[in-house]
A and B are shown apart, each in its own frame.
Chain A
Amino acid sequence: MLKTTLAGLRAHRLRLLLTAMAITLGVGFISGTFVLTDSMDRGVGKTFARSAGKVTVAILPEDGGIPASVLDEVRALPGVVEAQPKVEGEAALLGKDGKAVGEMPTLGVSVPSGRLLRYDVDEGRVPSGAAEAVLDAKVAEREGFEVGDTITVLDRRARPHRFTLVGIVDFGIDQEIGYRGAVGFDVPTATLMTGERTYREIDLAGGDKAAVAAAVGDRYEVRTGQELAAKLAREAGADTKVIRAGLLLFALVAMLVSALVIYNTFAILIAQRMREMALLRCVGATRRQVFAGVLADSAAVGLAGSLLGLAAGLGLGAAALAVVGRFADMPVEGLTLTGRAVAIGLGVGIAVTLASAVLPARSATRIAPVAALRTELEPGTGRFRLGRLRTLFASVLVLTGLGFGVLGSVVMEKGQAAMYLVAVSGGVFFLGVMAAMPALIRPFGRVAGAVPARFGGVPGRLAVANAQRAPRRTATTTIALTVGVGLMSLFAVVAASGKATAAAKVDEQFPVDFQIRAQLTDEPARLPRALAASLRARPELAAVIEVRDARHGSGRTVTAVTMSALGTIIKPAMAEGSLSDLRPGTAMVDQGTAKDEGLRLGDTVEIATARGTVPVRLAAVYGEGMPFTGLMVPETDFDRYFTVRDPSTIFVKAREGIPGATARKAVETAADPYPIARISSAIELKESLGNAIDMILMIFAGLLGLAIVIALFGIANTLTLSVVERTRESALLRALGLTRRQLRRMLSIEAMVMAVIGAGTGVVLGIGFGWAATNAMANDSVFAVPYLQVITYVALAAAAGTLAAVLPARRAAKTSIVESLTHD
């Protein structure tokens, strides 16, 4: 049987090549993921091993910090040649415009000198003394500082200090430094600037772990250099695990689509080779042999596709690694192809191919030997009727999906559980659509083909009819595209709704033009109240709203806002009670805090003030959308309870009719003397939020792109097989006067109609479940459909489908009429 199989394979080489491509792409995605993350792991491990190799023993705090006294203790231990503490805290670098740089203040970090220096000095030297500092390479480049420049850094109390920049340092793999940037000092200066009184770590050169552990081990964690490297690498490895899991999720989608494509190809091949199979049965092949023969075919395809996929995976991994090396703070140490990557790639590829071929192989065994003698009916055609079982199955799935969807989006309390339910309902509903799809191809085809059937002339009409003639085949081909396009539209709708929701909340409840924050995250992060006063003096500005907060008890926050703005400019969505209930001696609380702490309207809350505990009554509960949470009290009460006078945030509303640029200038002028004042406009806030969402959406689209490409291969594949099947029909059409160009156009339109059916179904499902997900998320979410984006998806799918038809169409057009007419 194996020989027959291989002969069969050779005869259908081109068709199987297309099938193998589906597997190649899927396996390429999986093995590429492993290549990327394994290479990253190895690079990270090596880097840590190198930097920690200099350390004999490291002392780490259990939590909090290590007091200075410990340093003296371990320095005195026998064998210890050198001990260096690590100081890390906030120290905001000012840019050339005199404003603190970045979204968050930079970190102040101690840079040891001598043999315990773990960082690479890219340029210059390490700092020493109170007048020298270094910068991490990224911040230096971004802000345009060079060795020899003078830089200004704010200390903990926001007082400026000037330093000479003596070096550029690579701080290695540290996500926080990577994001915020860092200024390096020697240890005493770092302590002074950050105000940190404890150490994050103490590194020792010389000495041994046992002795150090004996001295301080009961209070602190003691590790050797290697142990430290292993720990750091493990922590970084947790990140690559998350990346891997995320990527594999998308790879799973791609494999699902591959499975559909392979299933379809084998089903069509079996149908076309019915006579061949029947002949085999006639000459004595058993059912089992026929079954094994088809599976052997698929195993060969799976193996070939998976091997190609491994090669593709290496390429994909290398490309992704290059991108990561360029844009992220990640050492690249060459490609790693582990045995695990090979095993999983090959295993999944072959298993998916085999599993997809089982059903077609089973139908091959049902071919009666006598079929060899019958005249051939065109396989897979005719009106498709859902069998009873399939109807039942499809309706149960669709109804369950709908039920869950309604339950999750409308009935249940908003939140995570509801969203999970909507996700499950989406999956179930999709399975239902998949089961019912063959019966839906005719109506969907009529819709998708309405335009070409009307305006595409005879080729258009024939193409639309052809797309509908083998419903099962078209259904599987199109549903493969539905998966990718559906998920993409779902993400697009959820993203657009998220943006719209955020924008609506801001516009409704907080219609301000500028927000000014202190560029410090450590307590106390406050703006000088003089800034508010000078802002109020500007004629361009209509309102200046101060938000003050104070801690009371363990970490609870009490907030007060400028009273005149409350209810006029700031309009919180009230969950219970109203704003007018907020009288002296009362407070409001946000819904989330109320729920977490079990607070109810009318409860009395104790506030620990500067002058003892004060009981206040909860008069109202405010909803989401405020830029703060927790208790909120009237401004006059706040003045009595606390000594805090400086605001943490100032909101500014420009006067009506003042252009944005003028208003911004006014705010900037007022804020000029205060380097820590960070101004952002509402438009910028909305934009940055939108940009972040768009970025994620783009990454998702890129990852789902592969599933869509595989589905397009599926369309090309189905079309190629159909063209082979319809050789005589094409010849007849050509004899009757269909030009080559018209024949090509006919096939392009057929592919386009299939693509539009698939993409259209996906878009409809995506929007529907996007609505359900948005609804399930929160009470006040705003549903938005990015029409342009969604229409673009369908248009792109149509164009790509047309492209997929190019090769089969060329082949069909080249075929000789006479040969096709005379040969069977």
Chain B
Amino acid sequence: MTSTPASPPAAATAHAVAAADVSKVYGTGDAAVHALRGVDAAFDRGAFTAIMGPSGSGKSTLMHCLAGLDTVTTGRIMLGDADITRLGDRRLTLLRRDRVGFVFQAFNLLPTLTAEQNILLPMELAGRRPDRAWFDHVVDVVGLRERLHHRPSELSGGQQQRVACARAIVARPDVVFADEPTGNLDSRSGAEVLAFLRASVREMGRTVVMVTHDPVAASYADRVVFLRDGAIVSEIVRPTPDTVLDRLKSLGA
């Protein structure tokens, strides 16, 4: 690990994470499925990027590869200045623990832990002391002060998702990956979560990469990247729900 996770070095590249000519093939021979076909993409530090595309376009696969959860068949993934395609499982795990945050669509929290314990879990796994002031700030922003000692089963879906967001932010990772974070939420709770993700980029200087199929969710991002059949086909900067929807229609989704 060459950089301190809490504050990236000034000399580092402007990209938080970048994919260079990444392909991903599942299976072999006739049964081979090309999930990604030579994707080149870079995600700027301090930006909120959405990845969109029809079902089976490879958007989730791309995110999994970028986050070091899945391996690539060819190509390179640079997380900051580290080439994660060359790392073994253990180094990769440690890297995720220190430099990546996650928000998943569902099943984000450990049922045996309280909200607070869930939020602090990645830091504890890394054996790092939480910065108490930062923790308090994050908790207040997501509005969970009253619910810290509740277990996930005692929280609503929106609250659970906000706990997941707080967990993703509190360790100050280089990148936060969000996979359909609002997929299971009603529109009000969804809006709260998206507002928090945007705030974490604009006010706290985080980097967020979000996979979604919802044009409204995508409109919270600074930039939207469109995938089809495993390749990047288009992008929009400063999107609105309408521009995103139009672009999706034109892509035939």
Chain A residues at the B interface, C-beta cutoff of 8 Å: 378, 381-382, 457-458, 462, 465-466, 469, 728-729, 732-742, 817-818, 821-822
| Bound complex: CA A823 to CA B128 (Å) | 32
Kindly supply a per-residue 1/0 record for chain B positions 117-145, scoring 1 wherever the CB is within 8 Å of any chain A CB and 0 otherwise: 00001101111000000000000000000
A728 and B96 form a contact (CB under 8 A)? no
A465 and B93 form a contact (CB under 8 A)? no
Q: A735-B67, A737-B98 given; name 10 further pairs at CB < 8 Å.
A: A457-B124, A457-B127, A462-B110, A462-B113, A735-B96, A735-B102, A737-B94, A740-B93, A741-B90, A821-B69
Among B90, B107, B112, B121, point to the contact of A736 (Cβ < 8 A): B121
A818 and B70 form a contact (CB under 8 A)? yes
| Bound complex: CA A729 to CA B113 (Å) | 12
The interface residues of chain A lying within 8 Å CB-to-CB of B167 are: 736
| Bound complex: CA A740 to CA B97 (Å) | 13
B96 and A737 form a contact (CB under 8 A)? yes
A469 and B125 form a contact (CB under 8 A)? no
A737 and B97 form a contact (CB under 8 A)? yes
The interface residues of chain B lying within 8 Å CB-to-CB of A732 are: 102, 104, 107-108, 110
Given contacts A469-B112, A733-B110, contact A817 B69 (CB under 8 A): yes
B60 near A: Cβ within 8 Å?
Answer: yes
The interface residues of chain B lying within 8 Å CB-to-CB of A821 are: 69, 104
Among A382, A728, A737, point to the contact of B107 (Cβ < 8 A): A728
Given contacts A736-B122, A737-B97, A737-B98, contact A818 B112 (CB under 8 A): no
B residues 179-214 in Cβ contact with A at 8 Å: none
B69 and A818 form a contact (CB under 8 A)? yes
The interface residues of chain B lying within 8 Å CB-to-CB of A729 are: 107, 110-111
| Bound complex: CA A739 to CA B90 (Å) | 6
B83 near A: Cβ within 8 Å?
Answer: no
Among B90, B102, B111, B122, point to the contact of A378 (Cβ < 8 A): B111
Of all A-B residue pairs in the complex, the 8 with the closest CB atoms, nearest first, are: A737-B97, A465-B112, A739-B93, A818-B70, A737-B125, A728-B107, A458-B124, A736-B122
| Bound complex: CA A734 to CA B97 (Å) | 9
Given contacts A378-B111, A458-B121, A469-B112, contact A735 B94 (CB under 8 A): no
Q: Can you list 24 A-B pairs, Cβ within 8 angstroms, ordered by A? A: A381-B111, A465-B112, A466-B112, A469-B111, A469-B112, A729-B107, A729-B111, A732-B104, A732-B107, A733-B110, A735-B69, A735-B102, A735-B104, A736-B96, A736-B102, A736-B121, A736-B167, A737-B94, A737-B97, A737-B122, A740-B90, A740-B93, A818-B64, A818-B70
Shortest CB-to-CB span from A225 to chain B, Å, is 76
Task: Tell me the nearest residue of chain A to B179, going by C-beta.
Answer: A821
The interface residues of chain B lying within 8 Å CB-to-CB of A457 are: 124, 127
Chain B residues at the A interface, C-beta cutoff of 8 Å: 60, 64, 67, 69-70, 89-90, 93-94, 96-98, 102, 104, 107-108, 110-113, 121-122, 124-127, 153, 167
The interface residues of chain A lying within 8 Å CB-to-CB of B124 are: 457-458
| Bound complex: CA A821 to CA B102 (Å) | 12
Task: Tell me the nearest residue of chain A to B61, going by C-beta.
Answer: A818
A465 and B113 form a contact (CB under 8 A)? yes
The interface residues of chain A lying within 8 Å CB-to-CB of B122 are: 736-737
- Interface class of chain B by DSSP: helix
B125 and A458 form a contact (CB under 8 A)? yes
The interface residues of chain B lying within 8 Å CB-to-CB of A466 are: 112
The interface residues of chain A lying within 8 Å CB-to-CB of B93 are: 734, 737-740
The interface residues of chain B lying within 8 Å CB-to-CB of A462 are: 110, 112-113
- Give the one of A458, A462, A734, A740 with max B CB within 10 A: A458
Shortest CB-to-CB span from A383 to chain B, Å, is 10
Given contacts A465-B112, A465-B113, A729-B107, contact A736 B125 (CB under 8 A): yes
Task: Tell me the nearest residue of chain A to B127, going by C-beta.
Answer: A457
| Bound complex: CA A729 to CA B60 (Å) | 19
| Bound complex: CA A378 to CA B111 (Å) | 9
| Bound complex: CA A729 to CA B70 (Å) | 17
The interface residues of chain A lying within 8 Å CB-to-CB of B127 are: 457
Task: Tell me the nearest residue of chain A to B105, going by C-beta.
Answer: A821
The interface residues of chain B lying within 8 Å CB-to-CB of A735 are: 67, 69, 96, 102, 104
The interface residues of chain A lying within 8 Å CB-to-CB of B113 are: 462, 465
Shortest CB-to-CB span from B38 to chain A, Å, is 20
Shortest CB-to-CB span from A797 to chain B, Å, is 24
The interface residues of chain A lying within 8 Å CB-to-CB of B89 are: 739-740
- Give the one of B69, B70, B112, B121 with max A CB within 10 A: B112
Shortest CB-to-CB span from B155 to chain A, Å, is 14
Shortest CB-to-CB span from B231 to chain A, Å, is 20
The interface residues of chain B lying within 8 Å CB-to-CB of A742 are: 125
| Bound complex: CA A728 to CA B97 (Å) | 18
Shortest CB-to-CB span from B151 to chain A, Å, is 10
| Bound complex: CA A382 to CA B70 (Å) | 34
| Bound complex: CA A658 to CA B122 (Å) | 71
The interface residues of chain A lying within 8 Å CB-to-CB of B94 are: 737, 739
| Bound complex: CA A493 to CA B169 (Å) | 57
The interface residues of chain B lying within 8 Å CB-to-CB of A739 are: 89-90, 93-94
The interface residues of chain B lying within 8 Å CB-to-CB of A465 are: 112-113
Shortest CB-to-CB span from A596 to chain B, Å, is 65
| Bound complex: CA A144 to CA B89 (Å) | 67
Shortest CB-to-CB span from A450 to chain B, Å, is 17
Shortest CB-to-CB span from A782 to chain B, Å, is 47
| Bound complex: CA A739 to CA B122 (Å) | 12
| Bound complex: CA A734 to CA B122 (Å) | 10
- Give the one of A381, A737, A739 with max B CB within 10 A: A737
The interface residues of chain B lying within 8 Å CB-to-CB of A738 are: 93, 97, 125
The interface residues of chain A lying within 8 Å CB-to-CB of B90 are: 739-741
| Bound complex: CA A738 to CA B110 (Å) | 13
| Bound complex: CA A374 to CA B110 (Å) | 21
Task: Tell me the nearest residue of chain A to B60, going by C-beta.
Answer: A822
The interface residues of chain B lying within 8 Å CB-to-CB of A734 are: 93
The interface residues of chain A lying within 8 Å CB-to-CB of B104 are: 732, 735, 821
| Bound complex: CA A593 to CA B70 (Å) | 85
The interface residues of chain A lying within 8 Å CB-to-CB of B108 are: 732
Task: Tell me the nearest residue of chain A to B93, going by C-beta.
Answer: A739
Task: Tell me the nearest residue of chain A to B95, going by C-beta.
Answer: A737
| Bound complex: CA A798 to CA B108 (Å) | 32
The interface residues of chain A lying within 8 Å CB-to-CB of B153 are: 382
Task: Tell me the nearest residue of chain A to B71, going by C-beta.
Answer: A818
The interface residues of chain A lying within 8 Å CB-to-CB of B125 are: 458, 736-738, 742
| Bound complex: CA A742 to CA B90 (Å) | 10
Shortest CB-to-CB span from B18 to chain A, Å, is 20
Shortest CB-to-CB span from B126 to chain A, Å, is 6
Among A381, A469, A736, A817, point to the contact of B97 (Cβ < 8 A): A736
Shortest CB-to-CB span from B179 to chain A, Å, is 8
Task: Tell me the nearest residue of chain B to A741, going by C-beta.
Answer: B90
| Bound complex: CA A260 to CA B241 (Å) | 59
| Bound complex: CA A737 to CA B126 (Å) | 8
Shortest CB-to-CB span from B25 to chain A, Å, is 14
| Bound complex: CA A585 to CA B90 (Å) | 93
The interface residues of chain A lying within 8 Å CB-to-CB of B121 are: 458, 736
| Bound complex: CA A462 to CA B121 (Å) | 10
Task: Tell me the nearest residue of chain B to A737, going by C-beta.
Answer: B97
- Give the one of A382, A466, A821 with max B CB within 10 A: A821
| Bound complex: CA A462 to CA B126 (Å) | 15
| Bound complex: CA A736 to CA B118 (Å) | 11
Task: Tell me the nearest residue of chain A to B111, going by C-beta.
Answer: A378
Shortest CB-to-CB span from A438 to chain B, Å, is 17
Shortest CB-to-CB span from B116 to chain A, Å, is 13
| Bound complex: CA A733 to CA B94 (Å) | 12
The interface residues of chain A lying within 8 Å CB-to-CB of B70 are: 817-818
The interface residues of chain B lying within 8 Å CB-to-CB of A737 are: 93-94, 96-98, 122, 125-126
The interface residues of chain B lying within 8 Å CB-to-CB of A822 are: 60
Shortest CB-to-CB span from A529 to chain B, Å, is 81
- Give the one of A465, A732, A736, A741 with max B CB within 10 A: A736
Task: Tell me the nearest residue of chain B to A822, going by C-beta.
Answer: B60
The interface residues of chain A lying within 8 Å CB-to-CB of B98 are: 737
| Bound complex: CA A733 to CA B102 (Å) | 11
